[in-house]
Copies of this chain bind each other. A is one copy, B any other.
Amino acid sequence: MTYQFSDRVPESDEDPVGNILKVAGSPDVISFAGGLPAPELFPVAELKRVTDEVYDESGRQALQYSTAIGYPQLREQIVKRMAHQGVKTTIDNIMISTGSQQSIDLTAKMFVNPGDTVIVEKPTYLCALDVFRSYGAHIVGVDMDENGMKIDQLEKAVAENPNTKFIYTIPNFQNPTGRTMSADRRERMIEIADNYDIMIVEDDPYGAIRFAGDDIEPIKFYDDHERVIYLSTFSKILAPGLRLGWIVAEKSLIKKFTLMKQSADVHSDNLTQHIVAKFMSEYDIDDHIDKIKQVYRKRERVMMNAIEAFFPKNVHYSHPEGGLFIWVEVPGDVDTKALFDTCIKHNVAFVPGEPFYPDAVTPGTFRLNYSNMSEDHIKTGIKRLGDAIKETISESVSSVSRN
């Protein structure tokens, strides 16, 4: 039969990033394309121990149906973590989700009617763009610099789009750029949202992985009018396979989220919720996060030093103080697809910038990941990448001079 899909379904079955990851997955290729945490840091033994305890102490309860809002003990642990970040909240303001991706999906489903505007950083997390598109959002991108979204441009975008539902931002060590929004821009963003009475969706999967510089309070910290929906996850601080995230929002919003979640998947995995709550009550998760930070800091330093050594001097790149990613901008009108192909010939890979852009793409941009790679491989891979960039630039220069 001929299937008649809804308007929410992308026409193409193409998964450009999936295809890139497949090419990059060849055993000879050093791939900076992924976005995976380092699996050697997963606390497997500790999780095994607390899982056994969960089975012994509350196995039947953990295996039974539960409530959409989530396991109270886990929500209590999250209240403590949020306090640690300067956000005072209660368990009634917290819902557990099946990872941040679900938090983004439920938020968009809850607020975005077809044609409503969502304002995002340019570039931004590509799977958030997919979600916003699936609900018919009109997506408006705002340029960034090293301090995050350019606030004057943001204000202009809000003013020009009176049907704006929310600003979607990843303020810390943004995906894909690794950039962090400055404290004064966070305050300015809240002011703008107050003036125009719109919401802010603060997606913060990486904030806890700060390995340099000083902590900056979340945007939620400045939120006097309950207009910030704060999202975070255990994916980067514990293990992504467990698919657990959380939403912090005003209580009546959490009630709506709970109804929406009931329709989406009843509740998140209950066994896993018990395991993570137990882990957090028996271990200091900040000790574990410190280990992650040390390793990522080292890998980031190695990648930075290799970039300085091997990239042409006119190539720009971000200087992340945490998280998993570095963003590279090769100047001139470089064809990123051609650069990618050259890289594959040199047995090295990245994610091209294109899918991260809601609209006009800046050519020559790409994302590098350092969290899931040995220091040796980082050095070798960045050297190869530098060679590929030089080759592509010289070819593009010679092709220009031939014209």
Contact = CB atoms under 8 A, between A and B. Distances in A.
B15 A40 contact: no
B242 A63 contact: yes
Contacts of A99: 265-266
Contacts of A268: 98, 243
A231 to B, nearest CB: 13
B272 A269 contact: yes
Interface string A216-254: 000000000111000000010001111100000000110
A102 interface: yes
A227 B2 CA distance: 9
Interface stretch (A52-60, A290-298, A311-319): A52-60
B239 A63 contact: yes
Chain B CB count within 10 A is highest, among A42, A131, A253, for: A42
Contact of A241 (B66, B110, B130): B66
Interface of A: 1-10, 13, 15, 36-37, 39-40, 42, 44-45, 47-48, 51-52, 55-56, 59-66, 98-99, 101-102, 105, 109-113, 116, 127, 130-131, 134-135, 165, 197, 199, 225-227, 235, 239-243, 252-253, 255-256, 259-260, 262-272
A240 B199 CA distance: 35
Given A47-B63, A59-B48, A243 B265 contact: yes
16 contacts: A1-B225, A1-B226, A3-B111, A13-B255, A37-B64, A39-B60, A48-B56, A51-B55, A65-B235, A98-B243, A101-B266, A105-B264, A109-B134, A130-B262, A242-B270, A243-B268
Contacts of A65: 36, 235, 240-241
A271 B259 contact: no
Contact of A110 (B5, B102, B105, B271): B5
A241 B62 contact: yes
Contacts of A134: 109, 260, 263
Contacts of A131: 263
Given A63-B239, A63-B241, 10 more contacts: A4-B111, A4-B165, A9-B256, A9-B260, A63-B242, A242-B270, A242-B271, A243-B268, A243-B270, A272-B272
Contact of A60 (B15, B44, B252, B269): B44
A242 B45 CA distance: 21
Contacts of A51: 48, 51-52, 55
B265 A98 contact: yes
A8 B110 contact: yes
Contacts of A263: 101, 105, 127, 130-131, 134
